[in-house]
């Protein structure tokens, strides 16, 4: 999404946003409907299908098994599986991205928030509103959070070197660095 906005503009990015969110949401949603209809004991099916949607987005065969970082697709997955946790993490993303002008800082921090909020939902921490999260969902949230952070390792290096491009800023050239 970020690259689409930078290169092609926000009008072209809206379909990308909708498709990335949609595929993330629909994978566990369809799996949950299938599970409910045919095999209620397959509670793992929506978790696995959501995780596979994120992996498919991040390692798409149409781009030589290189793809996006999976942030929007993960948001779609967790909007289906644990909407309050997902929206709380998205709020963290909005705040950090707006404050720092770095989408990567917002994304990395939102992943930390996803892990934290899912653990809080699992242990039943006194947090005003939270999803009741079972152990497999908490583990999935944490695995996806770590996966997305690892996908941002290049951004983390650039942030540490001071060469990361801020959102809305022009691309830094080697002379400026």
Instruction: Tell me the H-state helices in 39-152.
Output: 45-58, 71-81, 83-100, 103-123, 135-151
- pLDDT value at position 111? 97
For residue 59, the 8-state DSSP code is T
The Cα 88–Cα 117 span in angstroms is 8
For residue 63, the 8-state DSSP code is G
Per-residue pLDDT at 76 exceeds 90: yes
- pLDDT value at position 100? 93
The Cα 87–Cα 80 span in angstroms is 11
Mean pLDDT on 69-75: 94
Q: Which helix or strand (DSSP H or E) is residue 43 part of?
A: none
Structure-block tokens of residue 129: 């509103």
The whole-chain average pLDDT of the chain stands at 88
Per-residue pLDDT at 165 exceeds 60: yes
Give the residue with greater pLDDT, 5 vs 50. 50
- pLDDT value at position 21? 95
For the chain, the domains span 2-161
Per-residue pLDDT at 173 exceeds 90: no
pLDDT in tens, 108-136: 999 999 999 999 999 887 766 678 899 99
pLDDT in tens, 50-68: 999 999 999 888 777 777 8
- pLDDT value at position 154? 93
In terms of Cα–Cα distance, which of 78, 156, 70 is closest to 115? Answer: 78
- pLDDT value at position 145? 97
Tokens 């644990």, located at residue: 82
The Cα 136–Cα 113 span in angstroms is 18
């Amino acid at each position: 999404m970020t690259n689409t906005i930078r290169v092609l503009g926000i009008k072209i990015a809206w379909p990308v946003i909708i498709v990335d969110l949609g595929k993330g949401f629909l994978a566990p949603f369809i799996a949950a409907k299938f599970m409910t209809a045919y095999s209620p004991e397959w509670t793992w099916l929506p978790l696995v299908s959501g995780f596979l949607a994120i992996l498919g987005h991040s390692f798409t065969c149409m781009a030589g098994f290189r793809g996006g970082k999976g942030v929007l697709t993960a948001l779609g997955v967790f909007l289906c599986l644990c909407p309050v946790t997902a929206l709380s993490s998205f709020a963290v993303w909005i705040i950090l991205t707006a404050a720092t002008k770095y989408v990567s800082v917002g994304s990395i921090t939102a992943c930390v928030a996803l892990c934290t909020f899912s653990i809080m939902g699992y242990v039943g921490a006194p947090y005003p509103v939270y999803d009741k999260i079972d152990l497999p969902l908490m583990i999935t949230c944490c695995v996806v959070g770590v996966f997305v952070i690892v996908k941002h390792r290049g951004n983390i290096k650039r942030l540490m070197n001071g060469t990361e491009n801020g959102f809305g800023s022009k691309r830094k050239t080697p002379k400026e660095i």
